[in-house]
Amino acid sequence: MAQFSLSHLSHFTLLLAILLITLLNHLSFIQPAVASPSINETQQLEAICNKTLEPYECFDCLSADTSRDSNDYSELIHSLLYCMYSEANYAHVNADLLSQNVSDPSLKNALTHCSSLLFDAANRAVDAMISIESQKNLQAWNYSKTARRLLFECVKVFLAESSNNLTIPSLVLGNMIHAKRLYDSMHVLFQLIVR
């Protein structure tokens, strides 16, 4: 009788496994619901971003945030500010990590100083987001200008060390370039809401 139970159990397990495999195979044909902009919204974002100095960066950022209203410039600017914050923060983190692992004192000093400036740039982008949420558009624009200026202050740090042939590491520079391009995109949109 004990063998009968074990045999019965193994048949049940086998049947359950076949059922699960069949079910999982069927479910693999079901595509997950992923939010993506509609064709009209995509065209609207392209039209808006094509007015900016950096249409690709603008569209890439705005199309990633499907929660915002593409008819509201303040919401679009908020999305661009968030992307700018992210890029400045990535640059800060990368500069900080590199500064901890480099032996050249000039490069270490430049990266440490640059990391601090990039941290401040990311924080000014956050300040700008808070201001835009509070409908303080001019204040938000000024914070975003300060964030951009801080990006260039980092460049100046490396230019000051040019006698040592220092260049900004690509791991940091790439994020800085994206952050600056995002500023260039939102600059046009700020001009539409700040008069």
Tens of pLDDT along 158-180?
988 767 788 999 999 999 999 99
Structure tokens at 95: 């500069």
Alpha-carbon distance values, 125 to 39, 131, 158 (Å) = 30, 10, 23
Comparison of pLDDT for 61 and 30, the residue scoring more: 61
CB 98 within 8 A of CB 175: no
Q: What is the mean pLDDT of residues 5-27?
A: 57
Confidence of residue 185 (pLDDT cuts 50, 70, 90): very high
Global pTM value:
0.78
CB 85 within 8 A of CB 143: no
Confidence of residue 73 (pLDDT cuts 50, 70, 90): very high
Structure tokens at 47: 């039209």
pLDDT of residue 66: 82
Residue 36 has pLDDT above 60, yes or no: no
Confidence of residue 37 (pLDDT cuts 50, 70, 90): low
* pLDDT (tens digit per residue) in 140-154: 999 999 999 999 999
State percent of the chain over pLDDT 70: 79
CB 57 within 8 A of CB 182: yes
CA distance 106 to 82: 32
Alpha-carbon distance values, 1 to 4, 11, 12, 13 (Å) = 5, 15, 17, 18
The contacts of residue 44 (CB under 8 Å, 6+ apart) are 70, 71
Comparison of pLDDT for 34 and 55, the residue scoring more: 55
pLDDT of residue 89: 98
The contacts of residue 189 (CB under 8 Å, 6+ apart) are 48, 52, 73, 76, 77, 80
* pLDDT (tens digit per residue) in 81-137: 999 999 999 999 999 999 999 999 999 999 999 999 999 999 999 999 999 999 999
Q: What's the chain's length in residues?
A: 195
CB 167 within 8 A of CB 151: no
Classified by CATH at the fold level, domain 39-193 comes out as Butyryl-CoA Dehydrogenase, subunit A; domain 3 (1.20.140)
Mean pLDDT of the chain: 86
